[in-house]
Amino acid sequence: MLRLRDQITIIQSSIWEKGEEIYEKTAAILLAALLAVAVIGCSSGNNKDQASSGVKVIEIPLTEEEYAFGVDKNQPELLEQVNQFIAKIKEDGTLDEILNRYFGDGEPQPVTSAELDTGKDQLVVATNAAFEPFEYMKGDKYYGVDMEIAALLAEHLGKELVISNMDFDAVVLSVGQGKADIGMAGLTVNEERKQYVEFSEKYYDAAQLVIVKASDTRFDDSKTAADVEAVLAGLTKENKVGFQTGTTAQFYVEGDEDWGFPGLNVTGVGYRNGSLAVQDMLNGNVELVIIDEAPAKFIAAAINELQ
């Protein structure tokens, strides 16, 4: 039996051989495809049945959040420029056009990153390109709401765009250490992150949602957030809940005083991105996943498309 890493390598090689056609798929669909191979090659017959049943999103928001961009505290002029730019794209309809490319019938636009060169006038953007539809990759191109805004912002400022892709929990720290000018990664505004960055005006409202296997009926009668929370409150340490490390979901699951989250009496399991968390749920290693609303819907749609 091939190891998962070997299987992924084989699939990646096949993808490159097929060229442009495969990149018409979204990054989430590619991740879901890897999941299908992993489940077939490495799991028991029982887990194959679990994977084939797909997943479902419990579309009841658990939180109310605001996404904003995290700007270097040592660049107050950049913060002012960013806020002016956000106001501009809201007023002239540009932001709505970008959102329509990912939540409507528009066509996502590719974004290219330049190489870092301290001798040039560049805008260095820290992100985590595993958070579709806000930032993701197809080939060597970046896509997503934040990435398209980043490209327009760099053009507006007359700077060359450099995208620095990293783990999500390193984004804010990178800006705080002066390694990037701005963090654009579906960042929820909170007091802890304000220690490292100055937040811009908000540009998007978000929330946390629960994803479960399609066969899971625990939330079927839930109509409100209180109903969902009641089910979650009935879980114990024997129940494993997945989340993307460093995101609001982690604080929701583990509890955080600054966020006002009491936490759940469960065993939380962190992952580098939401897709990996959902994959592990299908493999039977966690019972449910809590992640941001937009990625939750994209991941679920991609996986269910393969069923």
The 10 Å CB-count burial string (b at 16+, else e) for 133-156 is bbbbbbeeebbbbbbbbbbbbbee
| Measured torsion, CA atoms of residues 164, 144, 206, 56, in degrees rounded to the nearest 10 | -120
What is the model's pLDDT at position 306?
Answer: 82
Given this model, what pLDDT does residue 276 score?
95
Amino acid sitting at position 231: V
Kindly provide the b/e burial profile for residues 239-268, where b requires at least 16 CB atoms within 10 angstroms of the residue's own CB: ebbbbbbbbbbbbbbeebeebebeebebeb
DSSP string, 254-288: H-BTTTTB---SSEEEEESSHHHHHHHHHTTS-SE
pLDDT at 259: 84
CA distances from 72 to 54, 171, 179, 258 (A): 42, 11, 9, 22
Sorted by sequence, the CB contacts under 8 Å of residue 31 that are 6+ apart come out as 275, 276, 279, 299, 302
Please compute, for residue 258, the number of CA atoms within 13 A of its CA located in the half-sphere on the CB side: 11
Supply the pTM of this predicted model: 0.77
Please give the chain's pLDDT, 307 residues, in tens.
Answer: 334 444 444 344 443 334 433 333 334 444 444 444 444 344 444 444 444 479 999 999 999 999 999 999 999 999 999 999 999 999 999 999 999 999 998 999 999 999 999 999 999 999 999 999 999 999 999 999 999 999 999 999 999 999 999 999 999 999 999 999 999 999 999 999 999 999 999 999 999 999 999 999 999 999 999 999 999 999 999 999 999 999 999 999 999 988 889 999 999 999 999 999 999 999 999 999 999 999 999 999 999 988 7
| DSSP designation for 22 | G
Helix (H) or strand (E) holding 149: helix 145-157
Nearest Cα to 279, choosing from 233, 244, 232, 228?
244
Using CA atoms, how far residue 288 sits from 17, 93, 219, 260, 270, in Å, is 35, 37, 11, 22, 12
User: Can you give the pLDDT at residue 48?
Assistant: 44
- Residue 258: predicted pLDDT: 81
pLDDT score recorded for residue 41: 41
- The residues pairing with 271 across neighbouring beta strands, listed in sequence order, are 244
